[in-house]
Chain A
Amino acid sequence: DQQVKQNSPSLSVQEGRISILNCDYTNSMFDYFLWYKKYPAEGPTFLISISSIKDKNEDGRFTVFLNKSAKHLSLHIVPSQPGDSAVYFCAAREWSLNMLTFGGGTRLMVKP
């Protein structure tokens, strides 16, 4: 049973517009959430994180929103750039179980 789901396998956005990547989770014990970006044949690189005590965290063009009641996480990229084209993974931590669970990823394509 997948506890972290990214229901959109791919997303296409025009350069300069907003990209919104979504992530849903089922485990209410998750206390910390992260977003990673991954290029083919490379390791993921950390983008941004958010603690469960917050509902928003911003870093430059990247903003993560957390809606605990809906068990929903989203990453906003504004403005989107062609270099943002990659696979994006969300991940969620359950501290008590020593576990970081990843979603299946969403491939973002930003068109010039």
Chain B
Amino acid sequence: DGGITQSPKYLFRKEGQNVTLSCEQNLNHDAMYWYRQDPGQGLRLIYYSQIVNDFQKGDIAEGYSVSREKKESFPLTVTSAQKNPTAFYLCASSDRPWEKLFFGSGTQLSVL
């Protein structure tokens, strides 16, 4: 079945630690995105990529980094510079940029 796989589903980060969230898609989509959702809030864009080896910052990119070395993969690293990382992180992809995004099941990141 085609879809987007995010792992792990739950992740705990210690102070000063970098953690990486995985996102893989087999939909053959060019565009991929990372969003963050805080309780009771909407989704806010962290980074997006419209093509391999290219990515752009979203509204809240500080403290995060990404790479897009393969079409199917778009990992997100939450660095120690992100002071408030506790949130639900959602990866998405789309065939055409900014149209009908398909979302993964999310990763809940918490700070120990």
Residues in chain A within 8 A of chain B (CB atoms):
4, 9, 32, 34, 36, 41-46, 49, 89, 91, 93, 95, 98-100, 102-105
A42 and B45: CB pair below 8 A? no
Residues on A with C-beta less than 8 A from B92 are 43
B42 and A102: CB pair below 8 A? yes
Residues on B with C-beta less than 8 A from A95 are 98
A99 and B103: CB pair below 8 A? no
Residues in chain B within 8 A of chain A (CB atoms):
4, 6, 9, 35, 40-45, 48, 50, 56, 88, 90, 92, 97-106, 108
B48 and A98: CB pair below 8 A? yes
Q: For chains A and B in complex, what number of residue pairs have CB atoms within 8 angstroms?
A: 58
A98 and B56: CB pair below 8 A? yes
Per a CB cutoff under 8 Å, which of B45, B50, B88, B102 touches A100?
B45
Per a CB cutoff under 8 Å, which of B40, B44, B99, B105 touches A43?
B105
> Closest chain A residue to B6 by CB distance?
A43
Chain B proximity of A107: nearest CB distance (Å)? 9
Residues on A with C-beta less than 8 A from B50 are 98
Residues on A with C-beta less than 8 A from B108 are 41
